[in-house]
Amino acid sequence: MSLVDPRRVERALAGLVRRRNLTGSSYFVDRSTGSHSVVVILAGYKPYLWDMTLARLERFVVPGLDVCLVSPALRSEALEALAERRGWSYLSTRANYVSLAQNLAIARHPGARWVYKLDEDIVIGEGFFDRLLAAYERVAAEGHYRPGFCAPVLNVNGFSYLRFLQTMGLEDAYRERFGRLRLSTGEIPATDDGEAALWLWRHSLPFDEVAARFAAQPPGYSTVPHRFSIGAILFEREFWDAFGGLLVRPPAGALGVDETSICRKCVDMSRAMVVAHDVFAGHFSFGAQEAFMREYVQELRPQVALRPPAAAPATS
């Protein structure tokens, strides 16, 4: 009687899962440099935010990072033009699977050890990429946890909004307006109520001053005990390889499959989901909040949009 090696079975199953998660028609313009890091930006559906979000990415992507704009089920001329202008890669898929689009972008940057994943409604500040990587490496070096991913403190987020309030000294004010400070991916004002999103954003301005306030915080982190929004995260390719890529499954167009996929793998594989206390980013809104928040874009824009770069000092 022959015995089946369970490790061989596990590897074979992982191979099948990986092939499924990387199978789909796509269009790809490759401008990668073989960098050790890639920034994968999921975009195409919220162009009214790009002057506040993608413009900041243009300014703050540090030299040496590859960037890939990714559009599921959409080929965007505007994003293709941006990618060409900035020397970034561009990928679109025929099928409307956000996980597939991200998986293909990662797979087509085989030299990248580090993967920054950002959504088009995330606002970042100066030093975002370097500080997030430094936070990840501090957690790993400490040795208590092996990170699955590292995220910034996001203002509109069911977990990190509390750290935002604590840092800004706003816990009592928020509690008085919106009730108890419960942490959850949903069914709380910070994720479901447009008024709460607007309140959090009004206290996130001027954006660059608030980002600098967080950057001045002592290094520290929190681990997330529940599902976490992955609008802005950093993870290692080795982890992505180990679980076979973000899960691709029907129905097409379903949102959150990539999020539940990586969060579950963090739990399954004893990888910590980590929020860095000294890195701040803004999330425009969650799904149900967007229609409400869209009415206030013009109010937020002057204090979120970038100022012109400082002029170089005159030389004699």
Query: Is the pLDDT confidence value at 7 over 80?
Result: no
Collapsed DSSP state (helix, strand, coil) of residue 125: coil
Q: What is the pLDDT of residues 42-94, one digit of tens each?
A: 999 999 999 999 999 999 999 999 999 999 999 999 999 999 999 999 999 99
Residue 46, beta-bridge partner list: none
Distance CA 117, CA 152 (A): 12
- Kindly tell me if the per-residue pLDDT of 133 is higher than 50: yes
pLDDT in tens, 218-259: 999 999 999 999 999 999 999 999 999 999 977 666 678 899
Average pLDDT rounded to a whole number, residues 199-208? 98
The full length of the chain comes to: 316
Residue 239's alpha-carbon distances to 148, 244, 272, in angstroms, are 7, 9, 12
Would you state the pLDDT for residue 310?
Answer: 55
Residue 282 pLDDT greater than 90, yes or no:
yes
Reduced to 3 states (helix: H, G, I; strand: E, B; else coil), residue 60 is helix
Hey, what amino acid is at 180? R
Helix (H) or strand (E) holding 260: helix 257-268
Q: What is the mean pLDDT of residues 100-124?
A: 97
Give tens-digit pLDDT for 135-153. Answer: 999 999 999 999 999 999 9
Cα–Cα distance measured from residue 263 to residue 224, given in angstroms and rounded to the nearest whole number: 10
Q: Is the pLDDT of residue 312 over 60?
A: no
pLDDT tens digits for range 26-54: 999 999 999 999 999 999 999 999 999 99
Secondary element (H or E) of residue 279:
strand 272-283
Domains and CATH numbers, the chain: 6-304 (3.90.550.10)
pLDDT over 80 (residue 290): yes
- 201: tokens are 């954003």
